[in-house]
A and B are shown apart, each in its own frame.
Chain A
Amino acid sequence: MAHYNISGDLHAGVTIPAGSEVDAVTKNTRVEISEVVDSDTLEIIFADPVHMATVEVNVTGDGPVSIAIAASEPATPATLTVTRAEISEPAPNKRCTFNVRAAGSVAFTDPGTELSDAGAEPTLADLEITSVEYSSAESVRRSYEVTDLVLVGTNGQPLDRATHTLKGSFAINVKGDPPVGMAAGSGGAEFKGCATGKVVVANFSQTEKRGDWNGATADGGHYKSA
């Protein structure tokens, strides 16, 4: 349930220093996207997540006066292990604050079940992502770019030029709990008004902050020819 406080769910597995209290937590799941470019059309014809995701948890809070961190061999790659700890004292006689970052690596299976309708060149009317309830989406950004290649001639001047490998990207910020289905991997977002292609969410992040609503962000790529 969307709420104003820290549930403990997002930083489960991270031991919080004794005598301290958590103010904000961010949990980010990141998966790399493997892309294959067609040598004739120079378009990305395959785009799939790799079979491993990195989970990173970032915790900030108040107190304590010391934090210990040491190198270790975690039980499994998936075990969340603190990789960075920071403590700061903003001024004399003020409460210390801490920041802890923990990470783990998990096997990732692309859900792949929510096929996207994305595809055709976007128009202004298409700049709409339908898998996110608009009442919960705080902002949506969608962009497209091509690689600009210039061939330099023997005289050192531009000889030829091509733009290729069209690639789209998007980012969605959500207030409250993330909509059902929003996750890393294929699908997770669906564009309106397009006929073909594939949408892959490469980064999915959830946040909890004391005194503010839960939040989530998803960003990734749109592959028109995949």
Chain B
Amino acid sequence: MITDLQIAVRNLIAPLLAADSLLTATLQQVATPGANVTPAAGKSLYEVRTTIEVAEDPGDRHVIYVHAREGRAPMTILRDAIVEISVGSPADVEGITIANHALLERAVDRVWDATRNPTLAASLSAAIAARLTGWTGGGFYVEGWQEAREDKEMLPVYAIKIGVQRS
């Protein structure tokens, strides 16, 4: 279930980020996640990946990682999952800047803003149903950016609590 949730969330947010005009004015998303393409001249790229991708990190672009872990399992028909999204930016690569890193972090926040995306809960349910037969979404609750844990080398994560229920 967890791996399917990661993929469902990636499939959900990738097009939303691609449609974010504040983001696309500066950064462009690679067309094919995992494709080993060189960033276009003068244009920085980013990629949305789950943390279970087989292909290695590209190393030449920003990466938005989608990770998920089990929450508590209160019932057999109701499950909780915590989705954690982080932004990774390789060092010493042209076009990779702190400003663009921050731009991506703000874009992640905008994606999960229910006032901007009032149909997001329904879209999330559809994305979950597409990956998990017999299950659907039970809504989401944004916990927001969480401090990096202990080691300062670790990335801060944007946590979203997601409900999954039997359809």
Contact = CB atoms under 8 A, between A and B. Distances in A.
Nearest to A7: B139
Given A1-B138, A4-B141, A5-B141, A135 B163 contact: no
Nearest to B162: A4
A4 B140 contact: yes
Interface residues of A, number: 16
A29 B68 CA distance: 39
Interface stretch (B8-16, B36-44, B70-78): B70-78
Interface in B39-77: 74-77
B75 A175 contact: yes
A3 B78 contact: no
B165 to A, nearest CB: 6
B138 A3 contact: yes
Contacts of A136: 75, 77-78
Interface of B: 74-78, 114, 121, 138-141, 143, 161, 163, 165-166
Contact of B163 (A4, A134, A210): A4
Contacts of A1: 138-139
Contacts of B140: 4
Nearest to B80: A213
27 contacts: A1-B138, A1-B139, A2-B78, A2-B138, A2-B163, A2-B165, A3-B121, A3-B138, A4-B161, A5-B114, A5-B121, A133-B77, A134-B76, A135-B75, A135-B76, A135-B77, A136-B77, A175-B75, A176-B75, A176-B165, A210-B141, A211-B141, A211-B161, A212-B141, A213-B74, A213-B78, A213-B163
Contacts, number: 50
Q: Which of A4, A136, A138 has the most CB of B within 10 A?
A: A4
B110 to A, nearest CB: 18
The secondary structure that dominates the B interface is strand
A5 B115 CA distance: 13
Given A134-B76, A213-B74, 5 more contacts: A4-B138, A5-B114, A136-B77, A210-B141, A211-B143
A176 B139 contact: no
A3 B75 contact: no
A213 B140 CA distance: 10
A178 to B, nearest CB: 13
